[in-house]
């Protein structure tokens, strides 16, 4: 499960993958995803590793919910402070 941040406009994308995370970020930046294609380039700002896809999907869904969106904002804002 991961967060990408658009360098173009600051939008945040939440997703999950079973692929290598660096490969997945490259795919987003190449335009293979409809949402991310129009907002590239993207930078990886956060990720979590899970042992099962079901757990990763549940965590992705959480970060798209009300409480998860608030936590996501805190995480992304903290990343901005380090850059």
Answer whether residue 35 shows pLDDT above 90: no
Answer whether residue 5 shows pLDDT above 90: yes
Task: Work out whether strand 2-6 and strand 12-15 pair parallel, antiparallel, or are unpaired.
Answer: antiparallel
Average the pLDDT over 19-46 and give the result: 92
Average the pLDDT over 40-48 and give the result: 95
pTM (two decimals): 0.88
> How confident is the model at residue 82, as a pLDDT?
55
Residues contacting residue 8 through CB under 8 Å, at least 6 positions apart: 39, 40, 41
């Amino acid at each position: 499960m991961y967060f990408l941040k658009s360098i173009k406009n600051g939008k945040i994308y939440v997703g999950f993958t079973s692929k290598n995370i660096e490969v997945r970020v490259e795919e987003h930046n190449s335009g293979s995803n409809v949402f991310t294609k129009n907002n590239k380039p993207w930078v990886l700002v956060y990720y979590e590793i899970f042992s099962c896809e079901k757990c990763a999907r549940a965590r992705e869904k959480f970060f798209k919910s009300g409480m998860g969106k608030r936590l996501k904002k805190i995480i992304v804002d903290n990343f901005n402070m380090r850059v």
